[in-house]
Structure 1
Amino acid sequence: MRKIRRAGKYFYRILSVVFWAGLVFTAGYGWYYAEHQIPEHFSVSEGEETSFSLDLPLYTTLLSESEEVILKGDSGIPQEEIRIRPDQEFSLYARKGGNFRLGLKLFGTIPFKEISVDVEDACYAVPCGMPVGIYLKSRGVMVIGTGKVTDENGSEAEPAYGILQSGDYIEAINGKPLSDKEALITNLNRMGESEALLRVRRAGKELELSVDTVKTEDGSRKLGAWVRDDTQGIGTMTYLKPDGSFGALGHGISDGDTGRVVEIENGALYETEILGIEKGSAGNPGVMAGVIYYGPGSRLGSVAQNTDCGIFGTAGQAFCDGVKQQAVEVGHRQDVKRGKAWIRSYVSGEACDYEIEIQRVDYSPTRENKSLVFQVTDERLLRLTGGIVQGMSGSPILQNGKLVGAVTHVFVQDSTRGYGIFVEDMLKK
């Protein structure tokens, strides 16, 4: 009898462990879906009915908190509250512009998540896809790192070590603003004393730092810091709006040494010529090799922002006049579906749309420029480039006649696959 009681207790312990493990798994599973599969906000066009599928894990109730946002479920009857089955589509109609909220409840009772809905006018843009040369001027002189220098007596010193940090921006020296690294060098060599008072921007904060400079054998003074004031490269223009504003790349331009997005004062786009393409392979992303023409007649536009979602600015009139493609409607994030889509690129020398397969759509805000996963399926592009190569970042992604995204990264181990960003996120920047 005692053995039976022990076995019973053991059995209930196992049931308890299984119950709590299941509860933790369910909570974790629910959190994953809330974070990655259900957007925190989405935009819709005023006066248009839009269909959604939230890929929900369980039966869920969707509640509209405003009479201006009308929900429709299976019955087709507008309601302020509808019940949604997993993978079931529903519709939303917004009567007027503004910001509204939707509530999600598990089993109709447990508050799960709130979704913000922006109702706005339909947006149109030209999906471009052409390569451009990019030049960016940093805001301040960027510190890459510190190093040792030899003084006039032959001794080594590293004066900036522990004072300046990689990613700092030197804005002024001894009260004099700096425009570029040449100005920094000139002011250092004009100093009569060894101590340099630097105004430095670090992570958005202004700092006053003092560095004892080193006088070298040739009489010049040095900080013992590697610095840079500009960067350049080749990328792809994603879209051009009717007002001449553009977005490109889909990700920020980062410094090759610090890995951080360059904080810029200004920049420009220039004509570029692609001279060759190195095809991608496993472990070795390919690249478009080209030359940038910096002549005054080759300037295509100005760059005002360099962000995690791309670079943005205004195209010149000559560039706008030369664009022959037609503007299309810009799709919202909920318009992007798994399945067939196209990327537009000039890798062949002319504009072509190449077929891809969108394999995953991720709504997590932490994956801003990696919200889409796709695979190149078009044999023409595979023969030409092996898939996605460096320089194709920014190539527009089209689906169902709408501009929905842009290429951002390539899978290092599989050049046929890549990441993309919702074009909606680019436009909001």
Structure 2
Amino acid sequence: MKDRKKVYRRCLILATIFSLIFTIIYSSNQYINLYIPDEIKLMEGRIENFDFNINMPLEAKITSEKQGVVSVNESNVPQDQINISLNESFTIQSNEVNEMTANVKLFGIIPIKEVKVDVIPQTEIIPAGLTVGVIVSTEGVMVLGTGEVKGDDGISYEPATGILKSGDYITKADNNTIQSKEELVEYINEKGDGEINFTIKRDGQEQNVNITPIESNGSYKLGIWVRDDTQGIGTVTYVDPISKTFGALGHGITDADTKQLINILEGDLLETKITSITKGQKGFPGEISGMIINDSKNKLGTVSKNTEYGIFGDVEETIYNYIEKEPLAIGLKHEVEVGPAIIKSCVDDTIREYQIEITKVFLGNNDVNKGMIIEVVDENLIDKTNGIVQGMSGSPIVQNDKIIGAVTHVFVQDSTKGYGTFIENMLNASNQ
């Protein structure tokens, strides 16, 4: 009996120890993932300073594709494997474009995560801050929802229910390309009550479905609500003077009804005349209202890509009439500091600089648009807008003479505060 109690106690102690070790490792992993990103970028030839401010015995073993091109703490390291303590500040430099891998371990033993380290060429871009109109056409016709059709026989039908769903894109009807609502309606009426084979895109995958239209009040209907374009006002974050490309908004264009990222076929950046500003109030985000001048003479660029990190495309020469031409170096994630910064915004038909404070930085945050929390402290901007309003998304954030990110969201309960995304996220998305 006594032996059984001893065995039981030993098992209980061991279970407690293992449970404690598991809890420590799990908590450590969660904490580390918040502050150490999955991917780090370095600028070729530039000494990069790191201080993760983590009071834990973490070690990173960096493996480089190229030997003899990396220095740590300004000392050359000829080996292809470099050991760095992450609970102390350090510098690292690579003299060539390079790819490295950092294996992070707790106590130098327990694997925590693998970090991809890319060395990229030095790049300079122009922080724009220009308010523009954006008009985009969808790739095909976007389905918003399905419903009933009352036929001429008095019976209610739901011809598309269970076949189409919100967020689908109708791209073809019987192999005929569909690019607008008008083309879709015209083809359905031409076909009459015959079955139609539709090519649709759902979650990025192409598939075919069959639907038979219902005759109702002299025309034929599928019982769906659709959209083929959208427009709004936002801010251009940057212009690349070498490639003549731009990035804007800092977040993607989503459909107001489905909340899904819109698949775009094409789009335009257009000059906008600001007509009014609704100030942000607690619980009610403000907004910039303006008149989009949809004229070829006022075209500033062409939109070719809509991503979670913003919209991207090519600029027209006319855009340089509105923005400064002096480029700035890119500030990478690890260079962003808690403290003062500026945003460039156009809330009164003139691009101006406004003072903000970066209050928190989340290097390991997987939320694509929320890498930092910012607070507007500039009394001039607070007087005009009460802080951040809709239409300012994309306003570039500059710190230490480097462009580091873009404004993306406003806090609904406090319009002086909001989120920003890192500029390197936008540049990654533009190149994919």
Q: Fold-level match, TM-score > 0.5?
A: yes
> What is the SS of the residue equivalent to 2:191?
coil
Contact 2:345–2:392 at 8 Å: present in 1 too?
yes
Change (3 A) 1:68 1:225: farther
Check whether the contact 1:244–1:320 (CA below 8 A) recurs between aligned residues.
no
Asked whether 1:55 is paired with 2:53, we answer yes
CA–CA separation in structure 2 for the residues paired with 1:343 and 1:14:
58
- Secondary structure of the corresponding residue to residue 182 of structure 1: helix
- For residues 114-263 of structure 1, what are the structure 2 equivalents within 5 Å? 114-217=114-217, 219-242=218-241, 243-263=243-263
Code of the residue aligned with 1:323 in structure 2: it is: I
Q: 1:396 to 1:214 in 2, by over 3 A?
A: same
Matched, 1:376 2:373: no
Alpha-carbon distance between aligned partners in 2 of 1:140 and 1:350, rounded to the nearest angstrom: 37
Equivalent pair of 1:142/1:168 in contact (CA under 8 Å): yes
Q: Does 1:104 align with 2:104?
A: yes
Q: Deviations over 1:313-345 (max 9, x none)?
A: 011112235432411001111111111111111
The aligned counterpart of 2:264 is: 264
Cα distance in 2 for partners of 1:83, 1:317 equals 47
TM-superposed deviation, 1:155? 2.6
| Amino acid in structure 2 at the alignment position of 1:84 | S
List per-residue Cα deviations over 1:282-309 (Å, max 9, x = no partner): 2111111111111221211100001101
Q: After alignment, is 34-43 or 227-236 more displaced?
A: 34-43
8 Å Cα contact 2:71/2:94 also seen in 1:
no
Does structure 1 conserve the Cα–Cα contact (< 8 Å) formed by 2:52 and 2:86?
A: no
Q: Which segments of 5 or more consecutive residues in structure 1 lack a partner in the other structure?
A: none
Task: State the SS of the aligned residue for 2:320.
Answer: helix
**1:251-273 deviation line (CA, Å, top 9, x unaligned):** 00000000001001110011111
Contact kept, 8 Å, 1:279 with 1:287, in 2: the verdict is yes
Q: In structure 2, how many angstroms separate the alpha carbons of the residues matched to 1:322 and 1:387?
A: 23
Cα deviation for residue 72 of structure 1 reads 3.1
Partners of 2:16 and 2:284 lie apart in 1 by 46
- Greater alpha carbon shift after TM alignment, 222-231 vs 48-57: 48-57
- Report the 3-state secondary structure (helix = DSSP H, G, I; strand = E; otherwise coil) of the residue aligned with 1:227: strand
The 1:356/1:21 distance shift into structure 2, 3 A limit, reads: farther
| Partner SS for 1:129 | strand
Q: 1: CA distance between counterparts of 2:71 and 2:108?
A: 15
Aligned to 1:294: 294
Q: Deviations over 1:361-411 (max 9, x none)?
A: 223362111111111122221221111110000000011100000011111
- TM-score normalised per structure 2: 0.91
Deviation at 1:61, TM superposition (A): 2.2
Q: CA deviation at 1:11?
A: 9.7
Aligned to 1:41: 39
Return 296-305 or 250-259, whichever deviates more: 296-305
Residue 285 of structure 1 corresponds to 285
- 1: distance between equivalents of 2:149 and 2:113? 57
- 1:39 deviates by 1.4
Distance 2:19 2:281 in 1: 43
Distance across 1 between alignment mates of 2:313 and 2:128? 15
User: 1:20–1:140: structure 2 CA closer, same or farther, 3 Å change rule?
Assistant: same
Q: Evaluate the alpha carbon distance shift between residue 70 and residue 187 of structure 1 in structure 2; reply closer, same or farther with a 3 A threshold.
A: same
**CA separation in 2, counterparts of 1:283 and 1:326?**
38
User: Which region of structure 1 is more displaced relative to structure 2, 357-366 or 91-100?
Assistant: 357-366
Q: Distance in 1 between matches of 2:284 and 2:380?
A: 20
Q: Secondary structure at the match of 1:260?
A: coil
Measured in 1, the distance between the counterparts of 2:385 and 2:9 equals 61
Partner of 2:85: 84
How far apart are 1:82 and its partner, in Å?
4.6
The whole-number CA distance in structure 1 between the counterparts of 2:160 and 2:207 is: 14
Per mean C-alpha deviation after superposition, the further-off stretch among 247-256 and 26-35 is 26-35
Structure 1 window deviating more from structure 2 (167-176 vs 317-326): it is 317-326
Conserved in 1, the CA contact under 8 Å of 2:128 and 2:324? no
- How far apart in 2 are the matches of 1:410 and 1:11? 55
Tell me if the contact between 1:304 and 1:312 (Cα under 8 Å) persists in the aligned partners: yes
Partner Cα distance (1:194, 1:55) in 2: 68
Counterpart amino acid of 2:53?
A: D
Post-superposition CA distance 1:156-192 (Å, at most 9, x none): 2221111110000011112211121100000011114
2: CA distance, partners of 1:181 / 1:138: 11
1:32 corresponds to: 30
- In the alignment, structure 2 segments of 5+ residues that lack a partner are none
Secondary structure of the structure 2 residue equivalent to 1:348: coil
CA root-mean-square deviation: 2.3
More displaced stretch, 58-67 vs 331-340? 58-67
Q: How far did 1:244 drift?
A: 1.5
CA contact under 8 A between 2:334 and 2:363: conserved in structure 1? Answer: no
- Which position in structure 2 is the counterpart of 1:417? 417
Distance in 2 (alpha carbons) for counterparts of 1:107 and 1:255: 48
- 1:10–1:387 CA distance, 2 compared to 1 (3 A): farther
Mapped partners of 1:112, 1:153: distance in 2: 67
**Is residue 278–residue 287 contact of structure 1 (8 Å, CA) maintained in 2?**
yes
% same residue: 38
Give the TM-score of the pair, scaled to structure 1. 0.92
The question of whether the paired residues in 2 share the 8 Å contact of 1:146 and 1:165 is answered with yes
Q: 2:35 touches 2:362 (CA, 8 Å); kept in 1? A: yes
2-structure distance, mates of 1:127, 1:302: 18
